[in-house]
Amino acid sequence: MGDSHMGLQARLMSQALRKLTGNIKRTNCMVIFINQIRMKIGVMFGSPETTTGGNALKFYASVRLDIRRIGAIKKGDEILGNDTRVKVVKNKMAPPFKQVEFEIVYGEGISRLGEIIDLGVAHNLINKSGSWYSYGDNRIGQGKENAKMYLQENPEIANEVEEKIREAMMPKRKQPPQEVEQE
């Protein structure tokens, strides 16, 4: 069963990508493929995970991201969202192998306040002592959910922390770039 269809999807993907690549480049657009992971049988070394559709998509892709759910965001028994990890598996545009973790909240998307808290802690703008979060002399909450609620109720503090994070991550140039005169 399925012998006549062995590798059919891989051949179709290879042919389609050869035809599509020129048009994608010429029209200056972006194409996103979403795939799933399957397990290879009998793998002794390396990762037993593989994606469907053969190797053509791996070769033609400029950027490949591995997106995984690493946990659930819960409030009691109710699941509010997912903790997500994204790894850059391949990148022809910038350095590869970067990794980031963030929260995806159902009905909201990527949690902006969760990011502010995580990056604030990483850049020593928000202090975390045990489960307590504090900003300056103010204790903003016990637990991440309470800290997010505090920042939601006080958007001026959230904006202030966000500005400081932006300054820390993207420092401003000390002097503007000099213009070069063309001869």
* Residues 66-108 pLDDT 10s: 999 999 998 889 999 999 999 999 999 999 999 999 999 999 9
Q: What is the CATH number of the domain that holds 125?
A: 3.30.250.10
pLDDT one-digit tens code per residue, 113-130? 999 999 999 999 999 999
- Backbone dihedral region of 157: left (phi > 0), alpha (psi from -120 to 50 degrees) or beta? alpha
* 83 found inside a domain: no
* 81 found inside a domain: no
* 162 found inside a domain: yes
Contact 123, 168 (CB under 8 A): yes
Split into its structural domains, the chain has a count of: 1
DSSP 3: G
* pLDDT-derived band at 1, boundaries 50, 70, 90: very low
Q: Is 154 helix (H, G, I), strand (E, B) or coil?
A: coil
Q: Look at the chain and count its residues.
A: 183
* 40 found inside a domain: no
* 16 found inside a domain: no
pTM over 0.85: no
Residue 161 lies in domain: 111-173
